[in-house]
Structures are given as structure tokens and as C-alpha cells.
Amino acid sequence: MDIDALNAFLVSEFPQVADDFEIESLETMRLRVRLRTRPAHLRPGGTVSGPTMFALADVAVYLAVLSLVGPKALAVTTNCAIDFMRKPAADLDLIADVEILKLGRSLAVGDVRLFGEGHEDRPVARASLTYSIP
Amino acid sequence: MDIDALNAFLVSEFPQVADDFEIESLETMRLRVRLRTRPAHLRPGGTVSGPTMFALADVAVYLAVLSLVGPKALAVTTNCAIDFMRKPAADLDLIADVEILKLGRSLAVGDVRLFGEGHEDRPVARASLTYSIP
Amino acid sequence: MDIDALNAFLVSEFPQVADDFEIESLETMRLRVRLRTRPAHLRPGGTVSGPTMFALADVAVYLAVLSLVGPKALAVTTNCAIDFMRKPAADLDLIADVEILKLGRSLAVGDVRLFGEGHEDRPVARASLTYSIP
Amino acid sequence: MDIDALNAFLVSEFPQVADDFEIESLETMRLRVRLRTRPAHLRPGGTVSGPTMFALADVAVYLAVLSLVGPKALAVTTNCAIDFMRKPAADLDLIADVEILKLGRSLAVGDVRLFGEGHEDRPVARASLTYSIP
């Protein structure tokens, strides 16, 4: 699937959140997604909430897997490990950079770094996610 | 903090999500929270979304830590490992059972199991979260 | 597999480490293993090393899975998340208590707590491990 | 600490395992360590064991942290998440590439990839480890 196909898939399968995310770039095994930060994503004090960062990491790996295996809406996350390392600034979009480290017959493993736009050297979180592919 | 104080803290600090959660019981180092499942929490197909389960695990450990250390809104999650094991039913509330395994001066570690109400023997997810206490 | 069969399997398949471990008890989905702490397991200062605790958690879940699916030497660990919470005392054996939380067709998830013998209320580590079953 | 100082520290503090590891390169926030694979590291069938891979990831992040904060033998691992993705070949040394993602006052987070020498594009494992710095 290319960027257009992935964006269309997001809109059709996840209409509730499709507006929040935008695929920025796609290469073999790598994908970059933007979260358009909105007030609903923020904690009091103005940082992006943990569940929002989890959601961004999750959708980013999901889309990277789909780009490789096609539109399998039933792929499911089986595991996530995430380190929250810095407070994200409220006034920046968050960027997720995914690298797929393994694509097996039944399991795929992705590695993601999240950072405020323009601050790639200071990641706010890092996560790895395993997807089970039906 | 007792159950009433924790519920009041949720309402004042996290007004966006306070209605979703209800503390069911509290003992030393243990706490149980209910997620009132709503359409906004569901994926197409009708299962509770991964970010919603993450949010439930996160708030449950947070409240269990606050019950022990008092109202420190600035406690932050530094790490989470979560296994998603079964699909949650859409028509059941989700229950989170937390046990605090360690409460140190600067770090607290909580272990959580999530299950559909009445199905404690078939957890839908298990997570551990580390909080940094300021 | 019962305790005798599991111990025999350990000796035949893992002769290098079989002497270190002893299965203490086995019920459906639960198993307890003892690590006979030796000088080779210790760090300077006299605490059990991290790799030794990892090895204990790993073998404990492996044996619990085999007790349910039979002697499949080719089951492999795909993921582990471990929290090290307290220093283990050098002069106590370590006990691992496993609970299998999920046994699917291709993946099994186990939850383990490690503690010094007699100190179950103060776990030194907690881990979850996923095994892929061939 | 530079490479010579780190190697000397390994020999003096961890004499049992210092011969297994060799620091290959060191830059700010990055370090590469080699595991000299020996029969004691192998499982039946000839792949490097999980505990050995854990030990390599752990020592690699430890040394990378010490290179930044100086010889603090009391830094301890508080958390590790590791994905095992491919079987390592028995006849190759394993290489660990560490990047330190966060160095705070009390916590450091490192990200490690392990691969057989010459096969950097096919990692056998990926881990993140958190160290508590005294």
C-alpha cells in the first residue's frame, strides 16, 4: 500500500481518529506519521497525554505493517513496551518515525521514536510494538 | 487518599476523562477501577481500543500510587509494558485490578490486569507501569 | 507433563543449567521453580545478577508452557519485559512463581514474580514473557 | 570514560565475564560491544541463549552510561524490554549497538540492537534498558 492507500484505509476503518494523523513519508520498512496536536490530546499543564502518545505509536506501526502486507484490518497489537522520556511541548505536532525490524509470517515487530516536530534529537518517547498478522 | 479523595482528584485534574472511570475498591497497595465503556472507546467491530486499555491501565496505577503518596499531580509514567491477550467484549465495562509491587522514594511500580466485568479468569490485557514521583 | 517429566526434560535438553533449577510445584497454569543460588550467579557485592534473574524467569515460563503443551524444545521466547525492583540477598535461593495468562495456538504469555525464599511479599523482580509455540 | 578506562573497569568489577566482551567503538551517546561467542553461550542446536543476549544488552547499556557519568559501579538496571526476532548463528560473534536516548539526573534509557557480525540489517534482538544512577 502506498501513502494514498494508507490514508484512505485510515479514513474508512478508523473514522474517529483519521483526522488526527497524517502519513508524511513511506519507504520500505520505514514510515513517518504526524499527529496534529489538538486540545483533546493534552493533559492539564499542556503536554500531550500518555494515551495519545501510545495511540500515535500504535497507529504508526500498524500503518507501516499494512504498507508491507496489505489492508488487513484484523492485524492486532499483542505487545507494547514504551519509554516516556521527556515532556512533549503542547504547541508542536508530534512526529512518529517507525522502522519495521521484523516481518515474519505471523508476527511483525516495529520500533518507533516520537518527537516534537523539529526536535528529532530529543525523543519524547520510544516504543516497540508487536503485531499479530492473521 | 481514600476513594472519595481520589475521585475528587480525578474530577479536578482530569475533567476530560473523569466520567469514564470509577474507583471500585481500595486497599493498601491494591486498587480496582472500572472503565464505563462507551462508543468512543470502541474500534470498528466493537472491541475496546488499545489506547483506551492503555489509558485505563495508566490511570489505575496512577490512582493507586496517589492513594499511597498523596495528591502529586506531577507524578509521571516513565515506562509501560503491556500484553494484549484477548479481545474485550464491547458490551461489558472493563475492570482494572492494580497491585503496587514497589513504592520507592523516586520510583513506583504497579502491575495491572484488565478484564471484562465478571471475566476475571480471562484477562484481556496485563500491564506494568513505572511512575516517577517528584 | 508432570514435575518428573519436566525435570527429566531439563536434564536432557539443558544439561548446562539443569542443576541450577528445581521445580517445586505445578498446578494447571501455575508453576514454581527454585534457583539454587551459587557464586557464579552473583555480582560483586553479593547480589544475584540481572542475567541470572532473566534466566530464571525465562526457564520458569518455558517449563510452565511445556507442562501444558508437551515437550516442544523449539518453543522460543519472542519478548520479555522485566522490572528489577529490589536487590536479592546473596544467601537465599530465588523462587519464581509463574502464572500462564494466555495459552493460544501460537503464542503463550506468562507472568512471573521472583523473590528470595521466604520473602514473597517483597518481590525482587517481575517479568512477563511471550513464547512462540511451533 | 574512554574505551581503555571502560575495559579496565570491566576487568576490575566483573572479572567473571570481562573476557566475553570487547568494546569496539565509542562516541558521545553511542557504543558498540562485541560478545566473543563461546560454547557456554549456546543452547542445544547451536544458537546463542536468551540469557546471554540479555547479558550482552545489559552490559552494553551499562558501559554506555558509564562512559557518560563515570565509574559508578552501583548504577542498576530497573527495567528491560527485549524482543527476540531471529535465531543468531552460532559461529558468529554478536555485536551490540547502543544509543543512549536519555541521560537524566537519576535515570538513563538506552536502546540496543544485537546482530551477528556482518548482519546489521537483520537484528537478532532489540532491547531498551533503564538504569537508575545513584
Q: For position B8, what pLDDT does the model report?
A: 93
Partners of C53 on chain D (C-beta within 8 Å) are none
Average pLDDT over residues B13-39: 93
Q: For position A17, what pLDDT does the model report?
A: 85
Partners of B81 on chain D (C-beta within 8 Å) are 81
How many Cα neighbours within 13 Å face the side chain of D43? 20
CB–CB of A107 and C81 under 8 A?
Answer: no
Q: For position D91, what pLDDT does the model report?
A: 86
For the segment C18-30, what is each residue's pLDDT rounded down to a tens digit? 899 999 999 999 9
For the segment B100-125, what is each residue's pLDDT rounded down to a tens digit? 999 999 999 999 999 999 999 999 99
Average pLDDT over residues C85-105: 94
Q: For position D44, what pLDDT does the model report?
A: 74
Q: For position B101, what pLDDT does the model report?
A: 98
- Report how far apart the first and last C-alpha atoms of chain D are (Å, whole number): 17
Q: For position B76, what pLDDT does the model report?
A: 93
Q: For position B39, what pLDDT does the model report?
A: 87
DSSP category for residue C120: T
Q: For position D126, what pLDDT does the model report?
A: 98
Long-range contacts of A34-43 (CB under 8 A, 24+ apart): A34/A93, A34/A94, A34/A95, A34/A96, A34/A117, A35/A93, A35/A94, A35/A95, A35/A96, A36/A93, A37/A90, A37/A91, A37/A92, A37/A93, A37/A94, A40/B16, A42/A90, A43/B14
CB–CB of D50 and C73 under 8 A?
Answer: no
Partners of C83 on chain B (C-beta within 8 Å) are 101-102, 109, 128, 130
Q: Is C52 helix (H, G, I), strand (E, B) or coil?
A: helix
Of B78, B80, B84, which is closest to A76 when you measure between CB atoms?
Answer: B84
Using CA atoms, how far residue B103 sits from B55, C86, C121, C122, in Å, is 21, 11, 13, 11
The answer to whether the CB of B6 falls within 8 A of the CB of B24 is: no
Q: For position A93, what pLDDT does the model report?
A: 96
The count of CB pairs under 8 A between chains A and B is: 64
**The C-alpha cell of B4 is what?**
472519595
Model pTM score: 0.96
**Which residues from C are below 8 Å from B when comparing CB atoms?**
81, 83, 85-86, 101-102, 109, 111, 113, 123, 126, 128, 130
Partners of C58 on chain D (C-beta within 8 Å) are 50-51
Helix pair C50-69, C3-13: axis angle to 10 deg: 120
H-type alpha helices, chain B:
3-13, 50-69
Of B9-18, B55-64, C93-102, C107-116, where does mean pLDDT reach its minimum?
B9-18
Of D81, D85, D101, which is closest to A123 when you measure between CB atoms?
Answer: D101
Domains of chain C: 3-132 (3.10.129.10)
Q: For position A49, what pLDDT does the model report?
A: 92
* Strand spans (E) along chain B: 21-27, 30-35, 76-84, 94-103, 107-116, 125-132
**pLDDT band, residue C80 (cuts 50/70/90):** very high
CA B66, B67, B70, B71 torsion-angle sign: positive
CA atoms of B70 and B63, how far apart (whole Å): 10
Burial-class residue B36 by CB neighbours within 10 Å (0-12, 13-18, 19+). Answer: exposed
**The C-alpha cell of C99 is what?**
502464572
Q: For position A13, what pLDDT does the model report?
A: 84
The minimum CA-CA distance between D82 and chain B, rounded to whole Å, is: 11
- Determine what percent of chain C is predicted with pLDDT higher than 90: 78
Partners of B106 on chain D (C-beta within 8 Å) are 106
Of C51, C83, C84, which is closest to D51 when you measure between CB atoms?
Answer: C51
- Model confidence at C73: pLDDT above 80: no
Residue ranges of chain A whose pLDDT lies below 70 = none
Average pLDDT over residues C122-127: 97
Nearest to C133 by CA among C101, C105, C100, C96: C105
- Model confidence at D77: pLDDT above 80: yes
